[in-house]
Each structure stands twice: as C-alpha cells, then as structure tokens.
C-alpha cells in the first residue's frame, strides 16, 4: 500500500495510505494546541477527505511523542472579549461537527495529552483509541472558562452525566486505563502500536459495504439527537433505502455464494 505525505497546511501533516487519511495536528511548540488557523485547516482537510471518493476512513492524531492536542490555544483565548469568545466557540463547534457528521468513519488516535479542545475533538470523532501514555480531561474550569467546543454536550452523552460532571467540575484528568474504564476511549494500546491499531480498525471497516457503513453512522449520529421513536423510524428508512443499492444485493449474494463481496458504493 502506498503512503503519500502532503503538507499544504501550516499546522497539519496529512498522509494517505491507500483509502485511509491520517491527519496529524502539528504545532510542536505548544503541544499541538488548537489556534483558529489550525481549526480552519482541520475543517478544510476534513471536508476534502469527505469529498474524496478514493478516501474511506480518517484517523486524527497529534504529531510528536507526548501530546495529542493540549487544548485550545490559551494565548488566543486570553485576549478574547465576550462576542469574540462566543464566536470562536461557535467556530470550533462547527469544525468538530464536520468530523462528527462525516459519512465516513473518523477515528481519534489519542497519543498523549488530550485536554480541553483536544479532548473535545476526540469526542467528536466516531471512535477513540488511546495510547498507554494518554491523559484526557476538560480542565477549563481551572482556567475560569468552560468547554466551548461541544464538551459539555458530548461528554455526558458518551460517559453519563455524573461522570462527565465530575470530570468537568473538578477539572480532573484521567489516564488512559481509567478513560477506557469509563468509556471515554474504546481501548488502550501500547504507544508504539497506536497508529497501526487505528489503521487496522480503519481497514476492518473498509472491508464492509461503504453505503452500509455510512448508514450506520447516520443512524447513530442523527438518531442520538432525537427521541428513540424518531431514531427507530430513521433506522427503518435507511434500511429501506439500502435495499435499492447494488451493494446490498452484492453483500447478501456473496454470502450465499460463499465468496467475498465486491462493493461498488452504488
Ligand atoms: N495553549 C497554548 N500553549 C500551550 C498549551 C495550550 N493549550 N498547552 C501547552 N502549551 C505550551 C506551554 O505554554 C509551553 O510553552 P513554552 O515552552 O513557551 O513555555 C509548551 O506548550 C510546553 O508545555 P509545558 O507546560 O512546558 O509541557 P508539560 O509537559 O510540562 O505540560 C501540559 C503539558 C499539557 C500538562 C500543560 O502544558 C498544560 O496543562 N497545558 C494546558 C492544558 C489545558 O488547560 N488545556 C485546555 C485549554 S482550554
């Protein structure tokens, strides 16, 4: 499989390995903190990934040895007035929404510190793997602010209200094992195997029918926004729509004919 590295961004490193894009946030001087420019680059790169028919899965990670993303860039936050603070919060939320709403899977490979906006970015990804040196948390209250890139909403949905409030109100930090125990990350892997494990997960997903994968993402992400009844209707609707696809017939027939399926995304 060929790996191509591109570097059209100031603060991101992008690698394409077959159908998997690896996006690394790269701001070594500040442990990959997210300033506005980096958020804009992430939005641009995520939209390009979504639009690229050759790309099927995205892995988001941090460059370097010890940090995924250390948070929003505190240098930028420190000079914001009320209107600008609200605006940067809305902007960050919009960028992370692009990741969450991606019709193709997005995996966070949390390879070290994931605080504040970094933890929030991981929360917006569809799945999270963590290295054994990862530490996660939403310490905003210790700075006199609150999580502004979706953390107050996504964390309780993921790990439950009580645990989320404990983390957010104490400003506490959890190590990888504890993060896995409370469901904040799916699992922990040795640091030097994290990217390979994320790649393995991406490849396992890519073997499946791409329209079905997108439909699961839509059913789960959109379904969770509303009541169960609406989610069940959405699920049935998507189930029905897939029956119009060649891929569904290919997948079912391949099983019956005892051969691997050849999905064509149609
Ligand atoms: N924004 C801006 N700069 C940051 C940053 C952030 N979120 N996190 C780290 N940095 C900078 C530090 O100021 C330091 O810069 P310097 O070399 O000019 O002094 C550099 O990155 C290295 O950080 P340092 O604190 O020396 O590394 P460390 O390994 O001792 O500690 C952390 C790492 C992540 C524990 C610590 O930097 C930290 O607590 N950062 C803030 C985390 C946070 O509160 N995030 C939420 C923000 S809303």
Render pLDDT for 201-259 as a digit per residue (tens, 0 to 9). Answer: 999 999 999 999 999 999 999 999 999 999 999 999 999 999 999 999 999 999 999 99
Residues with CB under 6 A from ligand 1: 30-31, 33, 70-75, 113, 115-117, 139-140, 143
What three-state secondary structure class fits 224?
Answer: coil
Res 48: pLDDT: 97
Res 156: pLDDT: 98
Which of 28, 74, 116 is the best mutation target for the ligand 1 pocket, counting ligand atoms within 8 Å of the beta carbon and taking the most?
Answer: 74
CA separation for the pair 103, 223 (Å, rounded): 14
Residue 63 confidence class, pLDDT cut points 50, 70, 90: very high
What average pLDDT does the structure give for the chain? 96
CA separation for the pair 9, 46 (Å, rounded): 12
Question: What's the mean pLDDT in 189-204?
Answer: 98
- Residue 120 is among the residues annotated as catalytic for this protein: yes
| Position 103 pLDDT exceeds 80 | yes
- Residue 178 is among the residues annotated as catalytic for this protein: no
Minimum-distance ligand 1 atom for the alpha carbon of 30: 21
Q: What is the pTM of this model?
A: 0.96
Residue nearest to atom 32 of ligand 1 (CA): 70
DSSP 6: E
Question: What's the mean pLDDT in 168-180?
Answer: 97
Q: 3-state DSSP: the chain helix, strand, coil percent, rounded to 5?
A: 50, 20, 30
Minimum-distance ligand 1 atom for the alpha carbon of 142: 44
Res 266: pLDDT: 87
CA angle 90, 214, 138 (to 5 degrees): 35
First to last CA, the chain: 24
CA of 164 to the centre of ligand 1 (A): 23
Question: What's the mean pLDDT in 62-89?
Answer: 96
Question: What's the mean pLDDT in 73-102?
Answer: 96
Residue nearest to atom 28 of ligand 1 (CA): 31
Answer for the pair 28, 72: CB distance below 8 angstroms, yes or no: no
Residue nearest to atom 3 of ligand 1 (CA): 30
| Position 3 pLDDT exceeds 90 | no
Res 241: pLDDT: 96
Res 8: pLDDT: 86
Res 255: pLDDT: 94
What element of type H or E holds 214?
Answer: helix 210-223
CA separation for the pair 114, 206 (Å, rounded): 27
């Amino acid at each position: 499989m060929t790996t191509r590295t591109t570097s059209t961004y100031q603060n991101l490193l992008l690698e394409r390995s077959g159908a998997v894009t690896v996006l690394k946030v790269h701001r070594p001087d500040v442990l990959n903190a997210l300033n506005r420019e980096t958020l804009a680059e992430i939005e641009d790169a995520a939209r390009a990934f979504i639009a690229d028919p050759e790309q099927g899965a995205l892995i988001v990670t941090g460059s370097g040895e010890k940090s995924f993303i250390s948070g929003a860039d505190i240098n930028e936050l420190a000079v914001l007035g009320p209107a600008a603070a609200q605006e940067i919060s809305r902007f960050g939320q919009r960028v992370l929404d692009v990741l969450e709403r991606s019709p193709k899977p997005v995996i966070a490979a949390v390879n070290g510190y994931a605080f504040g906006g970094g933890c929030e970015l991981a929360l917006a990804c569809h799945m999270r793997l963590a290295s054994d040196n990862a530490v996660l948390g939403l310490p905003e209250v210790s700075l006199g602010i609150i999580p502004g890139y979706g953390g107050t909403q996504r964390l309780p949905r993921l790990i439950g209200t009580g645990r989320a409030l404990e983390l957010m109100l104490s400003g506490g930090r959890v190590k990888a094992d504890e993060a896995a125990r409370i469901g904040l990350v799916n699992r922990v892997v040795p640091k030097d195997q994290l990217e390979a494990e994320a790649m393995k997960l991406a490849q396992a997903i890519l073997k499946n029918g791409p329209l079905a994968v997108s439909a699961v993402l839509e059913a789960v992400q959109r379904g969770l926004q509303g009541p169960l009844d609406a989610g069940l209707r959405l699920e049935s609707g998507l189930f029905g729509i897939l029956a119009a696809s060649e891929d569904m017939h290919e997948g079912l027939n391949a099983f019956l004919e005892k051969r691997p399926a050849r999905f064509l995304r149609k």
